[in-house]
Amino acid sequence: MKQKFINISLTFISIIILGVILAITISTLNSFNIISLTVNDNLLLALSLVLFLLLGFVYGLVEKKRGMLNGILLSIIYLIIVYGIKLINKDYQISSVYIVMTRCLLIIVGCVIGVNIRLKHQSKLNP
């Protein structure tokens, strides 16, 4: 259990750091008027979707088994964090529910892909 907590923490932290670096880069491009505000919003949304797929993928590679269960676990942790923050912020729109559910599905799909890629790679090494 301790190892699972460490894996979850390290995966979340690494994806958050990568996301912050990319978000700062995109926002800097917007502040210098290289990209418009709508392009900035769309890029940040697409970036978040890719990062959540990557989150699941990396965690699936690290855990090496039970991809669907680990994806659901990560999704539940994400939902707890998001709805904890949403309780503080009263500006809640229905479109955010679609984005949150899409991110949860991408986490689950990423975990399943990460575990399966790991299993295929191991089966090629051990015939």
What is the average pLDDT score of the chain? 83
Rounded CA separation 84/69 (Å) = 22
Q: DSSP label at 35?
A: S
pLDDT digits (tens, 9 = 90+) for 15-35: 889 889 988 998 898 888 888
State the CB neighbour count (10 A cutoff) for residue 34. Answer: 11
At 8 the pLDDT is 79
Q: Which two tokens stand for residue 49?
A: 């979707």
pLDDT for the residue numbered 105? 93
Please give the share of the chain, as a percent, with pLDDT higher than 90: 11
The ranges assigned to domains in the chain are 2-125
Q: Which residues of 71-85 are buried (b: 16+ CB within 10 A; e: fewer)?
A: bebbbeebeeeeeee
Nearest CA among 79, 121, 108, 117 for reference residue 96: 79
For residue 109, pLDDT over 60 is answered with: yes
